[in-house]
Amino acid sequence: MACHSWLCNISLLLLLLSLASQSCHALNSFGFDIHHRFSDPVKEILGVHDLPDKGTRLYYVVMAHRDRIFRGRRLAAAVHHSPLTFVPANETYQIGAFGFLHFANVSVGTPPLSFLVALDTGSDLFWLPCNCTKCVRGVESNGEKIAFNIYDLKGSSTSQTVLCNSNLCELQRQCPSSDSICPYEVNYLSNGTSTTGFLVEDVLHLITDDDETKDADTRITFGCGQVQTGAFLDGAAPNGLFGLGMGNESVPSILAKEGLTSNSFSMCFGSDGLGRITFGDNSSLVQGKTPFNLRALHPTYNITVTQIIVGGNAADLEFHAIFDSGTSFTHLNDPAYKQITNSFNSAIKLQRYSSSSSDELPFEYCYDLSSNKTVELPINLTMKGGDNYLVTDPIVTISGEGVNLLCLGVLKSNNVNIIGQNFMTGYRIVFDRENMILGWRESNCEYSSLLLLHYTAYPFSINYC
């Protein structure tokens, strides 16, 4: 018996949903848990237990201090706290507790070795300390030394050097011949901070993010980092760095080129310092989105804000900003900084805190907060395209040492506008390089394998998110 078209479509949809629940999509998604540098897992791995607690004045002083250092700003005044001792080779360096903001534990090689790598959306190359002559080999805390894994080219049976004729070799002009080993050199924003070595290929051990969790190893090109300089010797990225930029050599680009995932990834930030990075997580129907502003020479995750809304009061103001998960707090230039802080100050019904120079508070707009008072003052950013981005966590609370304060978690920039991680908390931020858009949707960062149906009229297609 012939069926009506609508009934056939419903039957087909149910069949596709049934098949999708039993099998994996051709493009999988893979993920790692990510950890804030002051979260308990990172403290345990590094053997560090004397870092400041979140919510204290010292915590925010330290985090604002590292923001300035890692975004090429002038050094702030010295921060007085218990230093860590990082041990590069046979030398010892005393440093403050700063560095990259989020870390993931990744496994590389055969047999597999684990590395606690820093995550950086502002650079491309994935590199590991490797047969190094100048690198951090361990951390010392409270008189106890903890050694880091160092990648050894000869120690992995699946390793292979990358030759100069590879399309990922950016320094081909420095090669004596096409069959030479490809060198690399990356210089970072912080003065004197760099990594040099040569490119290698080996297995990156991944696990699929679906109900049928399984290993899905893939070959990845990365840097064998033989010489690290500057902040890398001060513990900024003590055990390697995972570049998440738009370049061809970044891991998201390689996974997409190999056909393993879509050219997209997401990062989710929970309020407890834990989160998730998922490769292959692309845009969905249930999210806000805005296009990237692309530069030809060095594309970044730069977007346009067209309006600032504080407590219901809107001001049309267009400015560009980089979504940077590696910056703790949001940094804005005038007139955006002036607009958001003045509006916040006018709307909040609290006594402005009068600070002294000895307070070392990084935030300009702080207020005395009585213990029984709660404050909700929503901040919305209207993005290019018209979608609203509600900042779920714009406020910082500071307690202890005789103070109980509420502060606006925005700092004045002296160069670029940066939407920092504090404005991303409570969201799964999607860096969709396939469609060149930034997406966002509310999330508590607990992974769940959900099916989102993307369809036109016909046919139906199922995408994992």
Residues labelled as active-site residues: 120, 324
DSSP, collapsed to helix, strand or coil, labels residue 360 as coil
Query: What is the rounded CA–CA span in Å between residue 243 and residue 405?
Result: 36
Residue with the two structure tokens 């064998």: 224
> Assign residue 341 a region: left if phi > 0, alpha if psi is -120 to 50, beta otherwise?
alpha
Q: DSSP letter at 353?
A: P
Helix H or strand E segment including 343 = helix 336-347
330-332 and 410-412 as β-strands: parallel, antiparallel, unpaired? parallel
- CB-based contacts of 217: which residues, under 8 Å, 6+ apart? 203, 204, 205, 206
Beta bridge partners of 33: 276
Torsions phi, psi of 185, nearest 5?
-150, 130
403-408 and 366-368 as β-strands: parallel, antiparallel, unpaired? antiparallel
Residue with the two structure tokens 């508070």: 361
Quick check: 324 and 119 in contact, CB under 8 A?
no
Q: DSSP letter at 42?
A: H
127-134 and 218-229 as β-strands: parallel, antiparallel, unpaired? parallel
Counting DSSP H helices and E strands in the chain, the numbers are 5, 30
Query: What is the rounded CA–CA span in Å between residue 297 and residue 440?
Result: 26
Residue with the two structure tokens 């609203």: 388
Quick check: 449 and 464 in contact, CB under 8 A?
yes
Alpha helix ranges (H) inside 99-232: none
Quick check: 241 and 235 in contact, CB under 8 A?
no
Quick check: 109 and 158 in contact, CB under 8 A?
yes
Torsions phi, psi of 57, nearest 5?
-55, -45
Nearest one of 332, 330, 433 to 124, comparing CA atoms:
433
For 259-289, the three-class secondary structure string (H helix, E strand, C coil) is CCCCCEEEEEECCCCEEEEEECCCCCCCCEE
Nearest one of 42, 83, 45, 47 to 62, comparing CA atoms:
83
Q: Dmax of the chain from CA atoms?
A: 84
